[in-house]
Structure 1
Amino acid sequence: MKLYLDPGHGGKDPGAIGDGIVEKDINLDIALRIRASILNDYENVEVLMSRTDDRTKSLTERTEEANAWGADYYLSIHCNALDGKANGYEDFIHDSLSNSSITARYQNVIHGEVMKINGLKDRGQKKANFHVLRESTMPALLTENGFIDNKKDAALIKQASWRQKIAIGHVNGLAKAFNLQPRPVEAKQIYKVIAGSFKQRDNADERVSYLKSKSISAFVDPLLIDGNQFYRVQAGAFIEKEGAERQLEQVKQAGIKDAYIIRPEGEVSEQAGYPILGSTILSPDQMNQFAKSVNPDATEIGLYYLLYGQYYGIRGDIAFAQAMLETDYLRFTGVVKPEQNNFCGLGATSSDNPGASFDTPEKGVLAHIQHLYAYASSAPLPGQYPLEDPRFGLVDRNSATKWEVLNGKWAVPGDNYGELILNIYERMLDASIKKLEESLQDVKANRK
C-alpha cells in the first residue's frame, strides 16, 4: 500500500492561527507521527510525504506528485478555525462521490477509528470541492483535527500525547481500511542479524545484492530512526541465539564488519539501563580503531569524545557509538554530509533539510555532547566552552537520563534507537577487550 501523506499548508502559508498555535506546525507534527507509526507497525507500506519540514508547496505540486508516484491513498492532515466557538473533528471527501464509493467507504472506516480516540465532538463526515480531493487520481481524504481557535480544542492540540492519539487513530483507520498486516509479534521474540542500516534505499539494495552474491539471503526492512527513513538489511532471524551468532559470523566473513544482532524484545543486554551521565571508559585510540575496523577512512574524533565527555560528565564512548550509528561509521551515507561535522544528526530531517553544520569536527562533537547533557541533566551548562548546540534550548531538560529513553526523544519513534547505540558500544568493548587479550598474549610469548 502506497500512502501519500500531506501535512496541510507550510512555509509562507501558515494555515489557521489561534490561541498561540500555528496550523502548519500541528499538521506536520501529526503527519510525522502517522508516518512513524504506520511504517514501524505494519508490513508492506510505503509513505511519501508532501513535506517533512516547514516549506512552501503548492496544492498542484502535491497532487501531481501523488499522482506521478502512483499512490493508493491520499491523506491530507489539517486543523480548523472559525469563530472561537466551533469545535470538534470532521473529515471530507470530494463532493462528486456517492456514499457507496470506495472513497466513502474508506472515509467511514477512518472517521470511526479517529473518533474512537480523539476526544473531540463529532462534526460528521462531509464532502467538499477541495483541490487535493478533486485533482488526486486515487481515493483521498482530508481530516480537520479540532479548532485551534477554540479554547477546549486548543488545550488538547497543544499536548504531544493527544497529537500521538490522533496519529494512532488515523493509522488504525488506514490499517482497517486497507487490511494492513501488522509486523508479527513473534518477530519481536527472535534474534535478527542486521547487515547494515542505510538512509538511502540504493545503498541497502546494493548490500542485499552483495550478500546474495555470497550465498547469504537478505532483504530490506524500512523503518524510522530519529524521525528519518532508514533501510535496514536483515540477513536472518533465529529463535536460538546460537543460530544468530553463527549467521553473524558468516556475514562478517563476507566482509560486512558492521553487522550485529538485535535481541528479542524483553531480553536485557549487559549494558541495558546505562545512564548517559558517567565516566568514559574507552580511550580515543580504542574508539578510533573500532571506527577504522569498519571504515578505514574514518576521521579520528575519539579524542574529542573523551575530552568533552569527561568535562560534561557524559559517557563519551557511548556517545561515540551513537555517532557511528548516525553517520554509518563516518561514511555519511545519509542526508548529512562530512563537511557539516554533524556527527549526531542535529536538526536533520530530509535531503532538503540536512541539519546543523559546524566549522570543525571538534565543534561538532562538542555540540553532540552538549545536546546529550541537555537531555541527561537539569543543571546549567558549565561555562568553560561556548554553546555550540543550536537545539539545546529545545530540549526538555533531564527528560532522558538513560540511553534507551532517547527512543522517543532523540529518535521518534525510534523504538530500538537506544538499544542500537548500546549494541555498537558492546561491540566496541568486545573489540577492545580482544585487542588487549592479544597484546597480553604477545607479552607472555615474548617473555618466554
Structure 2
Amino acid sequence: MNTYPRRTLTLALLSLLQFLIAIDVTVVNVALPAIGERFDAGPAALSWVVTGYTLVGGGLLLLGGRLTDLLGRRRMFLLGAALFAIASLAAGLAPNLETLIAARFAQGAGEALASPAAMSLIALLFPGPEERAKALGVWGAISAGGLVVGVLLSGVIVQLLDWRWIFGINVPLAAVVIAITPTLVRADGPRAAGRRLDLLGAALLTGGPITLVYGILRGSVAATLAGAVLLGAFVLVEARTKSPLVPLSFFAHRTRAVANAATVPLSAGLSTSFFLLTLYMQEVVELSPLQAGLAYLPFCGALLAAIFLTSRLIGAFGTKRTALLGLLVTAAGLGWLARLPDRGGLWVDVLPGMIGVAAGMGIGLLALQNAALSDVTEDDAGTASGVQRSVDQLGGSLGLAVLVGAVVGGGSAQVADYRAAFGWAAVGVLVAAAGVALTARTCPPRDPA
C-alpha cells in the first residue's frame, strides 16, 4: 500500500473521482440558459441547479468525514462514488426542473461521502508535510482542472449535443473508479462498535445553509433569520452532544481554524468569478456558449501553473505565507473585475482579472487546504478533511446565493451589480488575508504548518 508506484496509482484514482466532482460544480453554468429554456425557469429557480449541489455537499461533508473515521475510508469512498454515479444518471434523465434539482442534491450527498474519504487517504498515504503538499498539489490541480473543464465541456456539449450529456458522461467514468478501487486501496480494518453519529448536527448544518440561501434568493427576512437560527443551533448541539460531527476543541488548533476561516471568502470569490463571468461573457460580450467555454482556457492555464508552483512556495516560505500570497493575488484579480464596464471586451476587461483570480486561487486554496490538514492522525484525518471541504463548499454556495440575489434584475443595472459583487468579494478576501497575516507573524519562514 505504501510503495511509491502503488501510492501514485492510488492518488491518480482518487483524483479521477474528484475531477468528476469538480466538473459538476461548474459544468451547469454555461448550460443554464438551455436548461431554463427547456423547463421554462428563471434565474432564481435555475440557481438551485448550481447551489443545490454544493449546499447539500457542503452541509453533509462533516458527516461524511465522521463516517469515514468511524466506518472506513475505502467503504465510504466506494459508497459515495456509487451514489454520485446514480444521481448523475438521474440528472441526465430528469423530466422536470424539480427532479433535476433533487438529483443535484443527491450528487452533493455522494460527494460528501467520497471527498473526505479521498482526502484523508491522501493525508495518510503522504504523511510528510512536503510530500503531502506535492500530493495535494496533484489532487488540487486535477480538481481545479475539473472546475475549468466543466465550463469548457458545458459549452461544447450545449452547442453540439444536448445539455443532458453534461451529467451522463459521469456514469461510465465513475463506474471505472468503483471497479478499480478495491485493487489499489486496502480493505478497511475493524472499527470500534457503539460509536454514535450526530445526525441532528448533520441535519442542522445541511438545513441551515439551504434555508439561508432560500431566504436570500426569495428576499425573505423570515427564512434568512430561520437559516441563521439553524446554524446557531448547530453550534449549540456540537457543544453539548457526546459524539459531535466535529468537536469544537478541533478548532483550538490555531492553524486549522485560521485556514478554514480564510477558505470561506476565498471560495466565495471563486464562485463569484465562475458564475458572473460566464453570464457577462454571454450577455455583455455576446460570446456563444462554446466561445465562453474556450475563453476559460487562460484561466485554466494560470490555475494549473499556480498549483504546480505552490508546493515549492510552501517549501521555501511555509504554508501561511504562501496562503497570504494567494489571497492577495486573488483580491487583486477580483478588484480588476470590480471595474467591468457596461459594454466591455474579453481581452482587456475580463482576462486580466480572470487570470489574477486563477493564479491566486491556485496558490491560496492549496496552501489553506494543506494547513487545514496540519497534524492529522488516523483518528481525525477524515474529520479534518470533512471540515475543510465543508467550509470550501458552503463558502462558495453562500457567496453565490448572495450574488444571484443581487443580479436577478435586468438591463445595464445588472453589470453595476456585477461590479458590486466583485468588489465585496475582494473585500472579503482582503479580510481573510489580514487574519492570515496576523497568525503568520510568529511563524518561522520554513515552518510547514
Q: Which bin holds the TM-score, normalised by the shorter protein? A: under 0.3
More helix by share: 2
TM-score, structure 1 as length reference: 0.24
- Larger Rg belongs to: 1
More strand by share: 1
TM-score, structure 2 as length reference: 0.24
